[in-house]
Amino acid sequence: MPIHGKEFEVEVEGYSGMTDITSLVKRVVAESGLSEGLINVFAIGSTASVTTTEYEPALSEDMKEKLDDLVPHNWQSRHSKTWGDDNGFSHIRASLIGPSVTLPLHEGEPLLGTWQQVVVINHDNRDRVRRVFIQIIGKL
């Protein structure tokens, strides 16, 4: 079964900033030439997440607010005390959401709902250029 993969970088604001990468996913799918299978989108790094959501400003702010309720950015984690980088909260947030999402590939397109986009979330305590790897396994 053919496999196609591609890595790219995307700039994302810190403190759980969110960036829509749906168009990048669709571009990699088109480059692959595959029509049916699975698409895995993976954030490389321990302080980033990938998920699907409706990407719009109010929901993005709601997500930041709720993540801060769950794991406050000013929480004094053991990790932050050990390493002095004050980003222990970002590792926990990233672990809660997870580093990847797998989507069905159907008729040459990622299968997504009308308002559903693929997003990268940077939980670190500063803006970052995040590395993302897309891998598609399927048939022509």
Q: Residues with Cβ < 8 Å from 83, sequence gap 6 or more? A: none
pLDDT at 84 over 90: no
The CATH code of the domain that includes 29 is 2.60.120.460
Averaged over 76-97, what is the pLDDT? 92
Query: Are 11 and 20 in contact, with CB atoms under 8 Å apart?
Result: no
The two structure tokens encoding residue 108: 């040459």
For 95-124, write each residue's pLDDT tens digit.
999 999 999 999 999 999 999 999 999 999
- Work out how many domains the chain is built from and give that number: 1
**Torsion sign (Cα): 5, 10, 14, 17:** negative
Averaged over 57-82, what is the pLDDT? 94
Q: How far apart are CA 83 and CA 87, in angstroms?
A: 9
What pLDDT does 77 receive?
87
Tell me the C-alpha to C-alpha distance, in Å, between residue 117 and each of 51, 54, 71, 86, 120.
8, 6, 24, 30, 10
Q: How far apart are CA 47 and CA 97, in angstroms?
A: 10
What pLDDT does 85 receive?
87
Averaged over 43-55, what is the pLDDT? 98
What pLDDT does 81 receive?
85
The two structure tokens encoding residue 1: 């079964």
Q: Which domain holds residue 31?
A: 3-139
pLDDT at 79 over 90: no
Q: How far apart are CA 7 and CA 63, in angstroms?
A: 26
pLDDT at 94 over 90: yes
